[in-house]
Amino acid sequence: MQLRTMYKNWSGLKGGYILAFVFFLQANAFSQNIIIPVETQHSALVLQTNSNNNLNIVYLGAKLSDKKEYEAITAQYKQTSEYTGVSNAAYPASGSRNLFEPAITVTHADGNNSLDLQYVRHETKKLDENQSLLTVTLKDPVYDLEVRLFYKTYFKEDVTEQWSEIKHNEKGNVVLHKFASAALYLKAESYWLRQYHGDWAKEMQPEESRLTHGIKTLDSKLGTRTDLFQAPVFMVSLDKPATEEEGTVLYGALEWSGNFRIELELDNQDNLRLLAGVNNHASPYTLKPAEVFTTPAFLSVLSFRGKGGASRQLHAWARNYKLLDGKGDRLTLLNNWESTYFDFNETKLKALLKDTKALGVDLFLLDDGWFANKYPRNNDDAGLGDWQENKTKLPNGIASLVSEAQANDVKFGIWIEPEMVSPRSELYEKHPDWVVKQPNRKEYYFRNQLVLDLSNPQVQQFVFNTVDNLFIKNPKLAYIKWDCNAVVYNAYSAHLTNQSHFYLQYVQGLYAVLQKIRKKYPTVPMMLCSGGGGRVDYAALQYFTEFWPSDNTDPLERIFMQWEYSYFYPAISSANHVTDWGKQPIKFRTDVAMMGKLGFDIVVSKLQEKELRFCQDALKTYNTIKPIIWQGEQYRLQDPVSNAVAAVLYLNEQKTSGVIFNYLVNNRYGAGSERPIRLKGLDPKKRYRLKELNLYPGTTSTIDADKSYTGEFLMTIGYNPDVKAERASVVLELKAE
Ligand code: GLA
């Protein structure tokens, strides 16, 4: 370089020349050595040790066919001076030379705050045909502290999971002030971040903007239902905003259901440092000698085929490896939350079980309000924690409902919110020390309730027993909706001696319970719900078959929301219910809910004859197309923000069958599908027919089902679904001849 550049930059400073020269000499006293490429089908992350034996990221981008050429990459960059040799560190440490945001900050046993991580060794294990695990060990040359970095790759899906382990053998405890899961380093001309914010009923609101210099932080400090205001998922396009099919884009997601912190730092060299991990807010961790601190995983997928390419890779990965029963079946259901709220009894529910059968879904889901006696759960201000059937509402218990369900040939599922407690509950009276609250402060409630202290093993056992008892008493119970409605206020655990460990150990406690439940009940479907969509991430989804995106089921809103969720989560995991939210007719509502796992939450007995018939037929249709929606590849064709008509295609792997959902999302005069919508992913040579599904009784389709088109035509010219005010929602089946 660098001598000249360094001199130029430092010449304004007194003595700058000498400083620069010393650094230059020192840097060259060591030779460059180890290169570790972490490759997937299309991408490569290249790690390299520098002259000081620090491990750096020298490349993250498209894979090169000749691995040897990775060595030549660095020399091609003529950026401004790099002063420290660690600004692109694989795991930036603080307190020695690093000048940027660290992944790790510690105070050693002797009170010293410095850390320098140097390469010791690495090994790569091939776990199977598709998965490999690289482990790199780094160590401080002065202190006996070691960090192991893990890179697990899923070759075909282009997904990498990264996490780290921190361990020491010092003569006392080490305090970890920061402990990120992963660091990445990107080089591009510009970086475009797509991030998500929200609130109740407004989950997954996107914002896309160019990153400017400095640090952009996406984080949560809510303790539980941590996605309420911000989601732990994001994407960064390189050089220009990626479109659905074009551009380079990196998706990132932290696999953690608690406080998270994702930082994107655009530095002086115009490179982007990305750090992701558990939020260190109020959480310094005291690490004992020989104790291993393991961070959760951060996943990323790098696509060179736009946002659509990345999401299809991620969906495949989720179904193959992460989401519980990702390749399996799901149950359609009728939920009673919005049709009864807390106001029901056995007679009313038995009638709903008949409606469940009449509608044609697989399962009836009994929601909130079935439990607690001393403080009956007739409102949201009492009873949480007292998981015994309410004797007034259900004198014969859940058991009689389960057998009544069986008599009606439907399955039975139930709502619980086991992490929570109402101030007015027997549980609170008996175990005030199980409740998260400050001993000397006034209680403060979120939805009139408090959170149980899951860092306490007794509470973990209680939560496990809540679920276990339900199954022991009702072995035929077929589904659980697991809710989590409150955030953590006044974080304090009567169980923990170190309060700084609370946020972390709460989540670890939650996972311990879920693991225990899954050990005993490995397959029972469970919905991850959180007062709407306040909790969804890939750590939790290992234990759940589906998640609840939002309490907002207005279909128009859902078109936008499901669109955004669909970048990160496959359709099979999205629980979509037809409700009375919104102004659209039942057909529109049902069509939208079909783009995922379909359910209903309506008063079936109040449906008009045609409405009921429509729903019954739609369910039959759904049963035939659900394999394509759940397991097929998703192509977002036209987005609802910039078009009057939004369209999404699900296509099977063989490219022989597909379903296209089209919706009018604009009310202006004459709005509709003026131009054809170009399909994607088809075989250009195959001929396809399009047939309209989900027709409302008494209407006829304007689509000619006898005509066929080549894949080339449908992808080049497109197809007009004839969406207009009178046909605001059009579902088309695509079949190769
Ligand atoms: C949350 C859920 C709803 C419903 C209620 C019950 O708000 O998101 O679907 O289960 O709790 O209290």
Q: What is the pLDDT of residues 221-261, one digit of tens each?
A: 999 999 999 999 999 999 999 999 999 999 999 999 999 99
397-407 vs 457-473: helix crossing angle, rounded to 10: 40
Look at residue 374 and tell me whether its pLDDT is greater than 90: yes
CA dihedral angle for residue 666, residue 669, residue 675, residue 678, rounded to 10 degrees:
10
640-736 matches 333-548 in CATH topology? no
Task: Judge whether 58 and 89 are in contact, CB under 8 Å.
Answer: no
Structure tokens at 236: 């960064």
Give the list of residues 6+ apart from residue 15 with CB closer than 8 angstroms, or none: none
CATH code of the domain made up of 32-308 = 2.70.98.60
DSSP for 542-600, please give it. Answer: GT-SEE---S---HHHHHHHHHHHHHHS-GGGBEEEE-S-SSS-HHHHHHHHTSSEEEE
| The pLDDT of residue 16 | 36
> How much distance in Å is there from the Cα of 539 to the middle of ligand 1?
22
CB of 531 sitting under 6 A from ligand 1: yes
Per-residue pLDDT for 646 more than 70?
yes
181, 260, 269, 327, 376 from 214: Cα distances, Å: 21, 19, 12, 42, 53
Q: What is the pLDDT of residue 33?
A: 85
In a mutational test of the pocket of ligand 1, which residue from 335, 341, 367, 579 has the highest number of ligand atoms less than 8 Å from its CB? 367
Mean pLDDT of the chain: 95
CB atoms within 10 A of CB 122: 18
| pLDDT of res. 9 | 35
With b for 16 or more beta-carbon neighbours within 10 A and e for fewer, the 479-504 pattern comes to bbbbbbbbbbbbbbbebeeeebbbbb
Whether 597 shows a pLDDT value over 70: the answer reads: yes
Q: Are strands 35-39 and 477-482 parallel, antiparallel or unpaired?
A: unpaired
Where do the domains of the chain lie?
32-308, 333-548, 640-736
> What is the structure's pLDDT at 482?
98
383 lines ligand 1 (CB under 6 A): no
Q: Is the CB of 446 under 6 A from ligand 1?
A: no
Please state the rounded mean pLDDT for residues 259-286.
98
pLDDT in tens, 461-514: 999 999 999 999 999 999 999 999 999 999 999 999 999 999 999 999 999 999
- Which candidate, 293, 251, 253, places its Cα nearest to that of 277? 253
Cα(310)–Cα(77) distance, rounded to whole angstroms? 27
Please give the backbone phi and psi of residue 630, each rounded to the nearest 5 degrees, phi first: -80, -40
pLDDT at 522 over 90: yes
Q: For residue 14, name the pLDDT band (cuts at 50, 70, 90).
A: very low
Ligand 1 pocket residue status of 423, Cβ below 6 Å: no
Average pLDDT over residues 682-688: 98
- Candidate of 371, 415, 526 to mutate for ligand 1, largest count of ligand atoms within 8 Å of Cβ: 415
Task: Report the C-alpha gap between 559 and 568 in whole angstroms.
Answer: 15
Residue 319, pLDDT > 70, answer yes
**Rounded to the nearest whole angstrom, what is the distance from the C-alpha of residue 650 to the centroid of ligand 1?**
29
Name the DSSP letter for residue 449: B
Is the pLDDT at 3 greater than 70, yes or no? no
Under a CB-based contact definition with an 8 Å cutoff, are residues 677 and 719 in contact? Answer: yes
Q: How far is the CA of 586 from the centre of ligand 1 (A)?
A: 22
pLDDT at 391: 98
If one counts every other C-beta atom within 10 angstroms of the C-beta of residue 458, the result is: 12
Of the CA atoms within 13 Å of residue 448, those in its CB half-sphere come to 10
In the reported structure, the alpha carbon of residue 660 is separated from the centroid of ligand 1 by a whole-number distance in angstroms of 31
Bridge-based pairing state of the strands 145-154 and 131-139: antiparallel
pLDDT at 352 exceeding the cut of 70:
yes
Check if 529 has its Cβ closer than 6 Å to any atom of ligand 1.
yes
- Give the integer Cα–Cα distance in Å for 511 and 519: 12
Query: C-alpha 229: how far from its chain's center?
Result: 14
In CATH, what number does 333-548 get?
Answer: 3.20.20.70
- Residue 507, H or E segment: helix 502-520
CB-ligand 1 contact for 581 (6 Å cutoff):
no
pLDDT value at position 466? Answer: 98
- As to burial, measured by CB atoms within 10 angstroms (0-12 exposed, 13-18 middle, 19+ buried), residue 25 is exposed
Q: Which two tokens stand for residue 388?
A: 């015994």
How many other CB atoms are there within 10 angstroms of residue 178's CB atom? 22
Question: From start to end of 227-309, where are the E strands?
Answer: 233-238, 248-254, 260-266, 271-278, 285-287, 293-294, 298-303
Nearest CA to ligand 1 atom 2: 531
pLDDT above 50: residue 307: yes
Query: Is the predicted pLDDT of residue 365 greater than 60, yes or no?
Result: yes
- DSSP letter string over 153-176? EETTTTEEEEEEEEEE--SS-EEE
Check pocket membership of 532 for ligand 1, CB cut-off 6 A: yes
CATH assignment of 640-736, among 2.30.30.830, 1.20.1090.10, 2.60.40.1180, 3.10.580.10? 2.60.40.1180
Question: Among 293, 295, 312, 315, which Cα is nearest to 303's?
Answer: 312
Q: Is the CB of 483 under 6 A from ligand 1?
A: yes
pLDDT computed for residue 263 by the predictor: 99
Percent of the chain whose predicted confidence (pLDDT) is above 90: 95
Q: What's the pLDDT band for 21 if we cut at 50, 70, 90?
A: very low
In whole angstroms, what is the distance from residue 415 CA to residue 399 CA?
15
Q: Is the pLDDT of residue 153 over 60?
A: yes
pLDDT category at 30 given cuts 50, 70, 90 is very low
Ligand 1 site, residue 534, Cβ cutoff 6 A: no
The DSSP line for 584-642 is S-HHHHHHHHTSSEEEE-S-GGGS-HHHHHHHHHHHHHHHHHHHHHHHSEEEEEE-TTT
Model confidence at 32, pLDDT cuts 50, 70, 90, reads low
Mean pLDDT of the region 1-11: 32
